[in-house]
Amino acid sequence: MNRRSFMSAVALGAILLGQPALAAEPENTMIITLKDGDVTVALRPDLAPKHVERIKELVREGAYDNVAFHRVIEGFMAQTGDVQFGDMNDGFNPSRAGTGGSDKPDLPAEFSSTPFVRGVLGMARAQDPNSANSQFFIMFTEYPSLNGQYTVVGEVEKGMELVDKIKRGAGGNGEVSDPDRMIKVRIAADKN
């Protein structure tokens, strides 16, 4: 290999290694159907294997279907995934949405150095770092204060313009009284 070929190979390797693990295989691709279409998410088991496994388990149970985006703050994020109190077909109550999880145990934190930027999915949690369960949020923009404080579980590959259309909440806490929802959520590897 001559010097020029070697330098090209090194440059290509640096580019590839510097990119996030997007274009995930179907087993780690989550598809969220919103009112305006599908959002494709590359899940990141390389960063958070326990959290990704939980999300896939809940997706396959149908737990995320019809769950509200109960907290949506302009210039910050859209939060969803409260499978206990956020189901739009099961007497949704905005005052309780966001306070629940699933019937599964909370997860230990899997923090990484991956930054919270536009399109990143993070796991919501209470004050205890080891309290994430089922709720997650999608970033509208960069938010450095979350870096290393919340678990990154994925990144939107396609459809961020649809996430941008999610109804925003009122007030500082972003509570949404008549929220948009995840109509259907599935893993690309699954037939249905």
Q: Does some domain include residue 10?
A: no
Determine the 3-state secondary structure of 129 from DSSP: coil
Is residue 111 one of the residues assigned to a domain?
yes
Domain count along the chain: 1
Domain CATH code at residue 76:
2.40.100.10
CA distance 168 to 166: 6
Mean pLDDT of the region 180-186: 97
* Residue 11 domain-assigned (yes or no): no
Give the domain range for residue 30: 24-187
pLDDT above 90 coverage of the chain, percent: 71
Residue 2 lies in a domain: no
DSSP letters, 87-152, are BTTS---TTTTTS---SSPPB-----S----TTEEEE---SSTT-B-S-EEEESS--GGGTTTS-E
Q: Is residue 91 part of a domain?
A: yes
Residues 46 and 21: their CA atoms lie apart, in Å, by 8
Does residue 7 form part of some domain?
no
pLDDT score recorded for residue 11: 40
State mean pLDDT over 89-114.
84
Q: Which of 96, 88, 77, 93 is nearest to 150 (CA)?
A: 77
Write out pLDDT tens, residues 48-74. 999 999 999 999 999 999 999 999 999
Does the residue 3 lie in any domain? no
- pLDDT-derived band at 192 (thresholds 50, 70, 90) equals low
Residue of higher predicted confidence among 188 and 84 = 188
CA angle 167, 184, 91 (to 5 degrees): 65
Residues 132-177 pLDDT 10s: 999 999 999 999 999 999 999 999 999 999 999 999 998 778 888 8
